[in-house]
Amino acid sequence: MSYAKQLLDTYPGSFDIDAALLGGTIDALSDCAQACTADADDDLSEENVAEMVKCIRLCLDCADVCVATLGVVSRRAYYDPNVTSLLLEACVAVCRSCGDECERHAHNHPHCRVCAEACRRCEQACRDLLGAMK
Amino acid sequence: MSYAKQLLDTYPGSFDIDAALLGGTIDALSDCAQACTADADDDLSEENVAEMVKCIRLCLDCADVCVATLGVVSRRAYYDPNVTSLLLEACVAVCRSCGDECERHAHNHPHCRVCAEACRRCEQACRDLLGAMK
Amino acid sequence: MSYAKQLLDTYPGSFDIDAALLGGTIDALSDCAQACTADADDDLSEENVAEMVKCIRLCLDCADVCVATLGVVSRRAYYDPNVTSLLLEACVAVCRSCGDECERHAHNHPHCRVCAEACRRCEQACRDLLGAMK
Amino acid sequence: MSYAKQLLDTYPGSFDIDAALLGGTIDALSDCAQACTADADDDLSEENVAEMVKCIRLCLDCADVCVATLGVVSRRAYYDPNVTSLLLEACVAVCRSCGDECERHAHNHPHCRVCAEACRRCEQACRDLLGAMK
């Protein structure tokens, strides 16, 4: 278990998002960023690396967007809700694209199946947070 | 001068964005990320740090979003243009918010004036790239 | 639970570090990076923010080093073991400094107690990985 | 030109490193991080991508370490000089490894020549900063 929920429970200010929902999104973002970083590297170890190029790039994009989103939602004063919304929407979009591509390789490459699962969970978590922000 | 333009000119594939425009955006993102990281630290050194809290947070958010956008636009195969657009829009929004807040402190704190300039340039560069992508 | 261990178990190549140990280090790095990001923000919400400046800076440093270390150890081909060792040693050092500073505030600020715990766990995990690499 | 030097010149505190030297290192780190990110992507576009795997991984490692070092040296209060030294040493090591690998491909792939140059300049800048810190 991560420290996200504990840190939300000890936050000195107040915020109007459910802590369990936000903590779950933070964990999903963190897990997805690591899974995509690892999966890009797994792809580079495959014999058919030439067929994995799109998967590698999407994993790198997905990791970058998850890391930024993780930073922004971990700061609880959303001075500009528009930034958070656009970023969460970008994260939903990249998790979906990356998840789709990973799924295409899942039957051959078990690591892509794991990464697809991380992307799906993160996509859903970002959707849920977006819904709760409205 | 950075290497962004040279790397675009030696790119092995093709891409349909003007290299000078894309290279300029990449430089603006890179410079803005560093400026925001440094300005957040400058703010922490100010005697009136309690009044700089919003500026610090927006600088940290802006740096995070610029870094992710830098990574994504540096990869030239936009498999999902929607991701790039949403991310560029998030970057425009955070650069504007951060630039506005920095500008409020610019008369007292020269480092905030420098950071505001970096944010304005990056906001404009992201808008230009968005325009060119359409 | 994160996906780190599953991704190590489905890695297409081989590596000579125990997967449970490496997976545990990856999780500790990921958790520590997020905890430090969140704790820096918690500190910014405290009334005595001027007294928290050192803690904020160390948290930002610690998050940066953990993220880089996470990336490097997630790529399993250590072409240059010297890079990994120096980075893990830098990570041990920053986790210790950040953990010490957080602990100084732990009695007043529960979020610093949580972050200190994340730093201690990460410091130990990096030490264990360093030990296993020798 | 980046904003690094201007932000050092408007820093509200004092620091005992020459601003031109530190500003130059910050620029070199920032440029190298972007060059490595772009070169990894260029490598993925090459027909002989299978031969570029080591180069891709070293570029990703190098970008990660440069980004962390950039963050840490941009914060001017080195509470723990040991962290900064170890990180700069890790950065020297990864820039050398990545520069060597890029150089091996420089005659075939002009983008690797550009990236090798960025790595060499960053390696030297980190060495110079290390020297000045002693």
Task: Write the pLDDT tens digit of every residue in D55-76.
Answer: 999 999 999 999 999 999 999 8
> Tens-of-pLDDT digits for all 134 residues of chain A?
589 999 999 999 888 899 999 999 999 999 999 999 999 999 999 999 999 999 999 999 999 999 999 999 999 887 889 999 999 999 999 999 999 999 999 999 999 999 999 999 999 999 999 999 98
Chosen from A39, A42, A47, A53 to mutate, greatest number of chain D CBs within 10 A? A53
Q: Which of A54, A60, A89 has the CB atom closest to B71's CB atom?
A: A60
Q: What is the mean pLDDT of residues D84-111?
A: 97
Mean pLDDT of chain C: 95
pLDDT over 90, % of chain D:
90
Block residue for tokens 């994995």: A52
Task: Write the pLDDT tens digit of every residue in C5-64.
Answer: 999 999 998 888 999 999 999 999 999 999 999 999 999 999 999 999 999 999 999 999
Long-range CB contacts (within 8 A, 24+) of C10-15: C10/A42, C10/A109, C10/A110, C10/A111, C10/A113, C10/A114, C11/A42, C11/A45, C11/A111, C11/C76, C12/A42, C12/A45, C12/A46, C12/A109, C12/A111, C13/A45, C13/C76, C13/C77, C15/C76, C15/C77
Please check whether residue D8 touches A, CB under 8 A: no
CB B67 within 8 Å of CB A68: yes
Low-confidence ranges of chain B (pLDDT < 70): 1
Task: Write the pLDDT tens digit of every residue in D37-58.
Answer: 999 999 999 999 999 999 999 9
Determine the pLDDT at residue D111: 97
B/C interface, count of CB pairs below 8 Å: 19
For chain B positions 12-41, those within 8 Å of chain A (CB to CB) are none
Judged against a pLDDT cut of 80, whether residue D107 lies above it is answered with: yes
Residues of A in contact with D55 (CB under 8 A): none
Residues of B in contact with D117 (CB under 8 A): 3
Please check whether residue D130 touches C, CB under 8 A: no
Q: Which of D54, D60, D80 has the CB atom closest to C71's CB atom?
A: D60
ipTM above 0.90, yes or no: yes
Q: How confident is the model at residue C77 (pLDDT cuts 50, 70, 90)?
A: confident
Q: How confident is the model at residue D1 (pLDDT cuts 50, 70, 90)?
A: low
Determine the pLDDT at residue B77: 80
Q: What is the DSSP string of chain A?
A: --SHHHHHHT-SS--SS-HHHHHHHHHHHHHHHHHHHHHHHHHHTSTTGGGGHHHHHHHHHHHHHHHHHHHHHHS---S-HHHHHHHHHHHHHHHHHHHHHHHHHTTT-HHHHHHHHHHHHHHHHHHHHHHHH-
Determine the pLDDT at residue A2: 83
Determine the pLDDT at residue C1: 57
Determine the pLDDT at residue C5: 93
Q: What is the mean pLDDT of residues D120-134?
A: 96
Instruction: Chain D: give the shortest CA distance to residue A35, in Å.
Output: 15
Determine the pLDDT at residue A37: 97
Determine the pLDDT at residue B130: 96
Residues D41, A53: C-beta atoms closer than 8 Å: no
Judged against a pLDDT cut of 80, whether residue D31 lies above it is answered with: yes
Please check whether residue C90 touches D, CB under 8 A: yes
Question: What does the alpha-carbon distance between residue D87 and residue D89 come to, in Å, rounded to a whole number?
Answer: 5
Query: Rounded to two decimals, what is the model's pTM?
Result: 0.97
